[in-house]
């Protein structure tokens, strides 16, 4: 898991035009709690998926460079990825964004 966290942290920040002064890596890293995935590493983007055995496979970086912030493959290209209050489910990846999501209001119970 640390190798994947480091991989995400090494990706360049991309300016977010909809969030003045903000930038983001446009990536989420989600650990899986069991072995039910088809491979130890599964990376997905808008209907595309790559299954890998190791973080050091060059295909991982190639996939990120192809799909991460590409108007051809991203139906929501340019949309803000931050700004969803934490109490309503918004929570950026640990190293994903240069600005934290707002705390927001606690939803009514």
Higher pLDDT, 8 or 21: 8
How many domains does the chain divide into? Answer: 1
Contact in structure between 69 and 26 (CB atoms under 8 Å): yes
Residue 95 pLDDT: 47
Residue 22 pLDDT: 74
Which residues span the domain enclosing 54?
Answer: 2-88
Please check whether residue 34 lies inside any domain of the structure.
yes
Instruction: Give the tens place of pLDDT for each residue, 70-106.
Output: 889 887 776 665 555 555 555 554 545 555 555 655 5
Contacts of 4 by beta carbon, 8 Å cutoff, 6+ apart = 29, 41, 55
Please check whether residue 29 lies inside any domain of the structure.
yes
Residue 14 pLDDT: 86
Instruction: Give the tens place of pLDDT for each residue, 14-72.
Output: 887 766 677 888 887 888 878 888 999 999 998 899 999 999 999 999 999 999 888 89
- Whole-prediction pTM: 0.69
Please check whether residue 12 lies inside any domain of the structure.
yes
């Amino acid at each position: 898991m640390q190798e994947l966290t480091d991989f995400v942290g090494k990706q360049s920040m991309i300016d977010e035009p909809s969030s003045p002064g903000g930038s983001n890596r446009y990536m989420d890293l989600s650990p899986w709690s069991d072995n039910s995935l088809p491979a130890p590493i599964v990376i997905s983007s808008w209907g595309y998926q790559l299954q890998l055995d190791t973080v050091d496979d060059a295909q991982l970086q190639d996939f990120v460079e192809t799909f991460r912030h590409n108007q051809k493959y991203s139906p929501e290209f340019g949309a803000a990825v931050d700004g969803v209050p934490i109490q309503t489910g918004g929570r950026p990846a640990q190293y994903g964004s240069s600005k934290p999501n707002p705390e927001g209001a606690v939803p009514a119970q």
